[in-house]
Structure 1
């Protein structure tokens, strides 16, 4: 059995302090014992004094934190920094952060660093940002970050690798036993429209919350490393989807999450910081702007919302007094595979209500037909009617600001086929050009004006690791366009990852910054042989209108949820009169996923923290002599 399948034994006492009440009672009895002077202590007094000394020792332990936040990347905590800062300033609670990766797979709005170099850059940003909330320690687990996916199972395969050893969970359990928090805060584990790494961070925190108290879970931590079992009191999950009431009353409102039914806790951002005299909303904004590599430096410097209209940070209360908070369970059926897997996980951990309404009501997928071209298209950025005889598809608003007019931003696309080649022609109207990136930045297409074509050759993918996604910049610092694959079966420059791909760009007549993208995509270069009746496609346009490498508006043919990352959303593009060559694979080629990760051993800040707290680098095993 895996550690999660082993029930906690009845002989394992919880180690949590029941923070305020128990500490006060123990301290009070200890003081009475001291006042008794030379009197012989009763057994009860002696026990209370021993407990008080243990409490005090825990507070002296440099590894101890009252609160532990568990996230996947640097910046995952930033929307909770107002809360963490208030807890520290007003309650005296120390807060530590566990960050599973260093965000090596994310973008970079400030330079060309990638992989481990980007991870160390982002570590520096995170440590600077959380210091605004008086957080000193960030514990990195050194797991690899890769591209944006909606799949927690795919993320777990990358973090733990085959065979499926629960290494990340083991490290989190060790960290809880080392830091002995009374409250654990994590991310929402629900799957829809959310990064798979965020989901998995939440799942692992849920599991570690219970397993840390179970001496049969990862027993070497108890017998060899000499950690004690530890049961935290509370488990909270960030709830970014809940808006709720605003103003100071939001902190005392008795709200419940509409999906799970769990109670919500709100912490008002309008509270004034004793240190700066500004609101904690402003201090949180100051911290967020430190994440310059992620484009957060472009956020307005000042919070302009009137203080009385500021809202709360919201958290779903998953557990109290060391036990899950229960809610009504509502079953959904039928479930698509990604949601069925999440449903099964919630039953495994004893929190089935977390799966309530987890699968959204997907709209009907759009559809079109891909006709055979009358004349084989020339890939020159000019789409003739005979080259693309089918009806165009119109892209509509998906994310960000809405287009002020068709001249501001609008797009349509046409598809055709000739032989075993798919041809795509996209016209984009734009009134202002975004930042011009170097060709080596092509995979960061979402930071400026670009087009993305996503293809699921068999129409049955559960995540993008079995799909083909190509991004195109119409112009680069070198002058011409570029193409790259990103967040799919094989990431990298098109010349290395998409053999046979041809592409071109041209200015769009009558549009100040408009452009066209034309591409030939060999069907044989896709991750699997195509199913002509279920061939799935989405076409997306990113519009920037800024020079600071941040996006403004996103359009898509099928604009629902995470339209670029959720193949369940993509439209059906039936290949008319097409018979694939014999012998093509019906199962996708295994994905090639980058796994380069920054190491704590290469971080001076992490090395110094390990010496200071005694928690080993990457929260690995500790050696007790």
Structure 2
């Protein structure tokens, strides 16, 4: 076996594609399909090894340019940020010998766990057509996708993987997108191998770990590993170190905060792990273990897996959720004063402890709740040992880069994703004083909620802060169900000035606690009656402005060099 590839496969595909590469500048041996710039960053050691040892070229498809993400190095956002992230991706992947990155110009929006929501925003059929076209144009023998399974995973990652899995099958089908064959002169192309990222085995270190046969415990499919401790002849260091040097170039995402050096002890170096979904152009079969009582998001995934012929991908797909916490929000006769100070009788209900959800210590927090008429009041007290970066008041997006509070509300307690919820991120302090707040990753990204009020008190010398918020229930995305009202309260802690977080706390800390409404606790509203005029359900407003390949000099130059149109679009007649 060579770097995770059976020796006969390496000989067969390597020999065939060396000839292809000489004929066609668009040809790539391996095609990685991701959602955002940096999604390939954890596999650069593998792609570098394959390039150096086998002569295989890897190309990358990145569906979006990540313009909906945060920016740790400046205030650029939207399309401007997307073009910056393209430059980061091209610079970093060059360490692994990657020359071609194909962007599909789809919009990146906020962090969601929903592949169905992502499919609607990306226009599933259009994106699929572009991806199938790219597979047919680049003729890879191996496709690598992200993990398609839904739990605790970005919806964009899930859906890019689904697209890649379907494109693996459809690109070789002459009946799929026949216009590409008849009108553009393309030919069907069936890749041989399909791999999916698998992070279940990351704790296995040392060169012996990938030498053992392994099986994914959920799907039952085989898993291969590629050890990062192999030394690169070109870079004169381990591929683990090459990958780290490359990853630190994704500056906008805070990756520069990673330690500059990886361990020098080979026994402390890990592997890249991949589930083998297909070999020799055919899906690998495994035993199907059906689950019953699936929540809607997981049932949708199981239906998709059945439809594409991989039902075992849905084995044990829904985790064992812990019991949701619950509380009762008391009604108070006098409205609390929003001043970040708990006055007598303002919060008579129980104190809610916030537990560590991710990261280490150095931070603790509690929350209290109250209701006066149609207004919800939330008081969050945070004990902290180190002040984080001070963001500008207009740089709140992705507030988890520094010390902040997040409040998430599901008015009817029946949401499958956050597009039907209210979420707000609150900075207790900012570069201009503070506090500052903005809606984030919810029914109306960035839009201020009418009537919402925020106050914060920060201790001097710094030992933490208190945040108090008034939220009008009548302004939420849907009418409140007082018995099923659900929420989560989260605290993000940063102990550095580089806009990267270290610790996260939550009232209900499980999975992606900020984005999974299935996790949130029930907070019954005592004695609450919905007003006669109440919201009936507001359609989500989601940012859909994407960076364009037409505005990227690097993408335009690549198209001229390879003959592959920008954004996976149709080939012009002159190229047919």
Cα deviations across residues 28-74 of structure 1 (Å, max 9, x unaligned)? xxxxxxxxxxxxxxxxxxxxxxxxxx973553200000000000000
Q: Does 1:600 find its partner at 2:549? A: yes
**How much has 1:623 moved relative to structure 2?**
2.0
CA contact (8 A) 1:18 1:233 kept: no
Gaps in structure 2 of 5+ consecutive residues: 1-7
Asked if 1:467 is matched to 2:467, the reply is no
Give the conservation status (yes or no) of the 8 Å contact 1:560–1:569: yes
**Structure-2 change in CA distance of 1:68 and 1:378 (3 Å):** same
CA spacing shift, 1:111–1:196, aligned 2, 3 Å: same
Shift, 1:508, TM fit? 4.7
Which residue of structure 2 aligns with residue 265 of structure 1?
224
Q: 2:231 and 2:13 mapped to 1: Cα distance?
A: 30
**Paired residue for 1:457, among 402, 411, 418?**
411
Count of equivalent residues: 567
The superposition leaves residues 549-597 of structure 1 with CA deviations (integer Å, 9 ceiling, x where unpaired) of 11010000000000000000000000001111124244x2100000110
Equivalent position of 1:568 in the other structure: 518
The secondary structure found in structure 2 opposite 1:169 is: helix
Moved more, 421-430 or 242-251: 242-251
Asked if 1:170 is matched to 2:129, the reply is yes
Query: Are the aligned partners of 2:354 and 2:366 in contact in 1 as well (CA < 8 Å)?
Result: yes
2:407/2:424 contact within 8 Å kept? yes
Contact 2:330/2:370 (8 A) holds in 1? yes
The answer on 1:101 being equivalent to 2:33 is no
Distance change in 2, residues 1:96/1:554 (3 Å): same
Distance 1:274-1:23 versus aligned 2 partners, 3 A rule: closer
Residue 618 (str. 1) matches residue 572 (str. 2): no
- Whole-Å separation in 2 of the counterparts to 1:299 and 1:329: 40
CA separation in 2, counterparts of 1:225 and 1:58? 21
Please give the secondary structure, in 1, of the residue aligned with 2:231.
coil
Q: Does 1:121 align with 2:84?
A: yes
Q: CA 1:214–1:55 in 2, change beyond 3 Å: closer, same or farther?
A: farther
1:70 aligns with 2:33: yes
Instruction: Classify the secondary structure of the residue corresponding to 2:172.
Output: coil
Q: Secondary structure at the match of 1:142?
A: coil
- The equivalences for 1:142-541 within 5 A come to 142-160=105-123, 166-243=125-202, 245-304=204-263, 306-401=265-360, 403=361, 408-492=362-446, 496-508=447-459, 512-541=462-491
Q: Is the 8 A contact 1:115 1:597 kept in 2?
A: yes
User: Separation in 1 of the partners of 2:378 and 2:535?
Assistant: 24
8 Å CA contact 2:328–2:349 kept in 1: the answer is yes
In structure 2, relative to structure 1, the CA distance for the partners of 1:23 and 1:191 (3 Å cut) is: closer
SS at match of 2:573: coil
Question: Relative to structure 2, which stretch is displaced further, 303-312 or 131-140?
Answer: 303-312
Contact kept in structure 1, 2:34 and 2:145, CA below 8 Å:
yes
**Within 1, Cα distance between the matches of 2:428 and 2:13?**
64
CA shift for structure 1 position 302? 0.3
Q: Deviation at 1:246?
A: 2.3
In 2: Cα distance, 1:207 partner to 1:19 partner: 24
Q: 8 Å contact 1:454–1:469 — kept in the other structure?
A: yes
Give the secondary structure class of the aligned counterpart of 2:237: coil
SS in structure 2 opposite 1:531? coil
Separation of aligned partners in 1, 2:240 and 2:510: 30
> TM-score scaled to structure 1, two decimals?
0.89
Let me know the Cα RMSD of the aligned residues.
1.5
1:306 shift after superposition = 1.3
The structure having more radius of gyration, on CA atoms, is 1
2:63 is paired with a residue whose SS is strand
CA shift for structure 1 position 383: 1.4
Q: Do 1:374 and 1:389's aligned partners in 2 also have CA atoms closer than 8 Å?
A: no
Query: Offset at 1:19?
Result: 6.5
The DSSP-based 3-state class of the residue aligned with 1:267 is strand
Q: Deviations over 1:339-376 (max 9, x none)?
A: 00000000000000100111000000000010012431
DSSP-derived class of the 2:322 partner: coil
Instruction: Give, in angstroms, the shift of residue 400 of structure 1.
Output: 1.4
Aligned match of 1:609 = 558
- SS of the residue aligned with 2:240? helix
Query: In the TM superposition, what are the counterparts of 1:22-41 in structure 2 within 5 Å?
Result: none
TM-score (norm 2): 0.96
Q: CA deviation at 1:384?
A: 1.7
Instruction: Tell me, in whole angstroms, the C-alpha distance in 1 between the residues paired with 2:273 and 2:10.
Output: 21
Shift of 1:310: 1.4
Provide the C-alpha distance between the structure 1 equivalents of 2:68 and 2:50, rounded to a whole number of angstroms. Answer: 32
**Does the aligned pair in 2 maintain the 1:250–1:267 contact within 8 Å?**
no
Unaligned runs of 5+ in 1: 1-16, 27-53
Distance 1:454 1:246, change over 3 A: same
